[in-house]
Structure 1
Amino acid sequence: MTTSRTEAFDAVDVIVAKRDGKVLTDAQIDWVIDAYTRGVVAEEQMAALNMAILLNGMTRAEISRWTAAMIASGERMDFSGLSRPTSDKHSTGGVGDKITLPLAPLVAVFDVAVPQLSGRGLGHTGGTLDKLESIPGWRAALTNDEMMAQLEHLGAVICQAGSGLAPADRKLYALRDVTGTVEAIPLIASSIMSKKIAEGTGALVLDVKVGSGAFMKDLDRARELARTMVDLGTDAGVRTVALLTDMSTPLGLTAGNALEVRESVEVLAGGGPRDVVDLTVALAVEMLAAAHKPVGEDEVRAALADGRAMDVWNRMIEAQEGDPHAELPWATETQDVVAPADGVLTRLDAYDIGIAAWRLGAGRARREDPVQAGAGVVMHAKPGDTVRKGQPLLTLHTDTPEKFGRALEALDGAFDVTAGAGFTPTPLVLDRLSGF
């Protein structure tokens, strides 16, 4: 015989409270997240509540409780048994953002463990796991025991997040996507931070992207999101700091999976594009300081130059059954986009480059879509560089040449070449917010 459970609240009462601008109680929040996860609160009811949150906002206490309730919907990892402190990084996503790849082994050099649970790409922003899966043999899925062993012995792991972390967020994320509530800052912040806090790291550095290629186009909105996430981390006892970084121009000179791995290896070998190196170093310094292991910028740069970070990278890849020395895939077809005139490249739009890489096969429109390991865009110049008419600015890579047409459409208006123009670069790091 089955018995029906008496629910503590009625979903309509919770919706009406937020619709009318009231502050939800802890008990209401705990119940509605749990009941939605169990299927008691219907999709249309949670959609209505999400819209009420979008329109009326939430207090810091409400967002903190909402996040805690999502964490409580699943398991929480515990790294307290490790012999070293933990520090993690989360990026809100951008074009050419391969920073996790050199960053994790670099921080591990200084005896701080980096549990980097990552995802796959969707739309114009690339996914860290997609990049790493272009390495022959590399395995994204690890058990908790495998992850803990790798963190203890090597100091860093980049792998797929388990399904047990914040399962309420998976339902809410999908619902927000189809109900016009993706932009609600309380829901964005709680989505990101519920997973990060559940991962169990002791310190967290947030890389909040701003600009055309980022989720947040506006600096003030990005700052509000960063402040909200820093407050959530602080309230949960995680030492949290956020850097707001420019994403009006792609990071580095590549956008695409194997292309970005090659560039990351260049950085680990002491070379690579200056912006990728500078941001990797800036985030490493922040991660180490947040983990109570402060290291100066010069010493962090030295760990890239002298091969110590590369040694950790090689061991990380091998531990997950990849071959760090294997040849990475190349696309079978390429096509150049050339400079239309002599002058200075004054703009290279990150969003347009990201869309082009996506259309070439580097990204996916649906989560189940495959990606091409070798597809993407190589940039031969960055804003501020002098170029000559006919010089290749971009090289498009794909295994399916019929994709060139749509990629070229995305690049129509993606860059400006101006004769005799002065150029003032945008700073890479636009702001810093700390919770400690």
Structure 2
Amino acid sequence: MAEAYDAIDVIRSKRDGEHLSDEKIDWVIDAYTRGVVAEEQMAALAMAIFLNGMERREIARWTSAMIASGERMDFAALSKPTTDKHSTGGVGDKITLPLAPLVASFGVAVPQLSGRGLGHTGGTLDKLESIPGWRADLSNAEMMSQLEDVGAVVCAAGSGLAPADKKLYALRDVTGTVEAIPLIASSIMSKKIAEGTAALVLDVKTGAGAFMREEADARELARTMVDLGTDAGVTTVALLTDMSTPLGRTVGNALEVRESVEVLAGGGPADIVELTTALAREMLAAAGKKDVDVEAALADGRAMDTWKEMIRAQGGDPDAPLPIAAHTQEIRAEADGVVTALDALQVGVAGWRLGAGRSRPGEAVQAGAGVELHRVVGETVHAGDVLATLHTDTPDRFERAVESIDGAWTIRADAAERQRSIVLDRIA
């Protein structure tokens, strides 16, 4: 059977700054998924999109074509509304862990299909897999049952959702086109829309430890994704949040689970609590539950009860001791003053070098490895104070981790103590 278009014609159209028609977009995504459009041809098209951009209609059509390449989930059979959250990823971003059970404790279903980490940003599944017995892989039937019974599920996304995106994502990684906003937005939103949730809250991060370092780029990405969700009939809102410094006081897998449990017990770092409750309010409002007291659900144990049910439902023991790394090393302050900056990227790379992250897909991670922060932005420090504790099972990793974290703290004698604001803006 003859193909409707020729890949070279589609590449030339975008290379020359033209808008791609709906028919061309539908064809090129389908043909790429079938293997008719070669990898080098899609690489050329991705670069043309990176250089010349796409208009809103093109991005919406590209997204829907990627959704159409695979299966779609449907939560209509559930007795409760669904709402979901997606974060663009950052250092110490364990927000999904306390957030999913917190929102579910109000009678809303939270299907969190998550991934594993690569490089300096940790994956939610890696964190949860540090809990003894917990498993990430669920069938669709198990997932639906858990959403109905418990309300929250965090699990691996099935390979059937947006398979075109999986191919294209790997290609963008090796062709210098990862940062193309139309391709980032359509990649994230094709999976989220295919997951079938009725409402979606996006946590779009900006700053040193974020995927989008510049605020203007993060804002454009947030606006593009909100438009895509809205056009697809999904109630979508985005929060623009600060990732110039790590979230909370831990970076790693078991370390971040421990901190998440502290939040669910009514404690935990102020920035984690602030972002968790802000996102929870947005998710609940999008699901039709407005003016709810999310702080009360953390204080009275409801969210913790849901967390324990969620972990048990996936084979984990929420009361089991978490893994602890065999070796630690301290980083100490050399001067007095107030911490005015703490570079998220440097801390993230240190955690990765200690064994908390991976360099390539499929590589094993250490459950107990990571960085524990004792002094963060806005806090007073004296020379000799411990700034951080490094954790690893392999002590020969310390040297390179210390190299990467050296100079991460900016300490000034003339600065005053202050609290940072996490949520920078709301985009709807």
TM-score range, shorter chain: over 0.9
- 2:120 aligned partner: 124
Q: Aligned partners of 2:171, 2:303: CA distance in 1, in Å? A: 40
Paired residues of 2:202 and 2:238 also in contact (CA < 8 A):
yes
Q: Aligned partners of 1:424, 1:252: CA distance in 2, in Å? A: 15
* Gap runs ≥5 in structure 1: none
Q: CA deviation at 1:419?
A: 1.1
- 2:282 aligned partner: 286
Q: Aligned partners of 1:314, 1:120: CA distance in 2, in Å? A: 22
Which of these residues, 140, 145, 153, is aligned with residue 141 of structure 2?
145
* Gap runs ≥5 in structure 2: none
Q: Aligned partners of 1:270, 1:427: CA distance in 2, in Å? A: 20
Q: Which amino acid aligns with 1:190?
A: S
**SS of structure 1 residue aligned to 2:403:** helix
CA RMSD of the aligned region, Å?
A: 0.8
Q: Which amino acid aligns with 2:164?
A: A
- 1:135 aligned partner: 131
- 1:406 aligned partner: 400
Q: Aligned partners of 1:185, 1:423: CA distance in 2, in Å? A: 37
TM-score (norm 1): 0.97
Which 4+ stretches in 1 moved above 6 angstroms?
none
Q: CA deviation at 1:420?
A: 2.6
- 1:421 aligned partner: 415
1:52 aligns with 2:48: yes
Number of aligned pairs?
428
Which of these residues, 302, 307, 319, is aligned with residue 308 of structure 1?
302
- 2:369 aligned partner: 375
Which of these residues, 209, 213, 225, is aligned with residue 221 of structure 2?
225
Deviations 1:188-221 (A, max 9, x none): 0000000000000000000001000000001111
**SS of structure 2 residue aligned to 1:69:** helix
Which of these residues, 167, 172, 178, is aligned with residue 176 of structure 1?
172
Q: Which amino acid aligns with 1:218?
A: E
- 1:74 aligned partner: 70
Q: Aligned partners of 1:61, 1:321: CA distance in 2, in Å? A: 44
Q: Which amino acid aligns with 2:374?
A: H
**SS of structure 1 residue aligned to 2:241:** strand
**SS of structure 1 residue aligned to 2:411:** strand
Matches within 5 A, 1:158-173: 158-173=154-169
Paired residues of 2:378 and 2:420 also in contact (CA < 8 A):
no
- 2:16 aligned partner: 20
Q: Which amino acid aligns with 1:409?
A: E
Q: Aligned partners of 1:140, 1:418: CA distance in 2, in Å? A: 44
**SS of structure 2 residue aligned to 1:135:** coil
**SS of structure 1 residue aligned to 2:354:** helix
Q: Which amino acid aligns with 1:132?
A: L
- 2:184 aligned partner: 188
Which of these residues, 326, 331, 337, is aligned with residue 331 of structure 2?
337
1:327 aligns with 2:342: no
1:354 aligns with 2:348: yes
**SS of structure 1 residue aligned to 2:24:** helix
Paired residues of 1:71 and 1:197 also in contact (CA < 8 A):
yes
Q: CA deviation at 1:292?
A: 1.1
Which of these residues, 312, 317, 326, is aligned with residue 318 of structure 1?
312
Deviations 1:161-200 (A, max 9, x none): 0000000001000100111111100000000000000000
Deviations 1:52-94 (A, max 9, x none): 1011110100000000000000000000110000000000000
Q: CA deviation at 1:426?
A: 4.3
- 1:365 aligned partner: 359
Q: CA deviation at 1:423?
A: 5.3
Paired residues of 1:131 and 1:258 also in contact (CA < 8 A):
yes
Q: CA deviation at 1:350?
A: 0.5
Q: Aligned partners of 2:68, 2:291: CA distance in 1, in Å? A: 35
**SS of structure 2 residue aligned to 1:395:** strand
Paired residues of 2:379 and 2:417 also in contact (CA < 8 A):
no
Which of these residues, 400, 415, 430, is aligned with residue 424 of structure 2?
430
Q: Which amino acid aligns with 2:311?
A: I
| Higher mean C-alpha deviation, range 13-22 or range 419-428 | 419-428
Deviations 1:236-260 (A, max 9, x none): 0000000000000100000000000
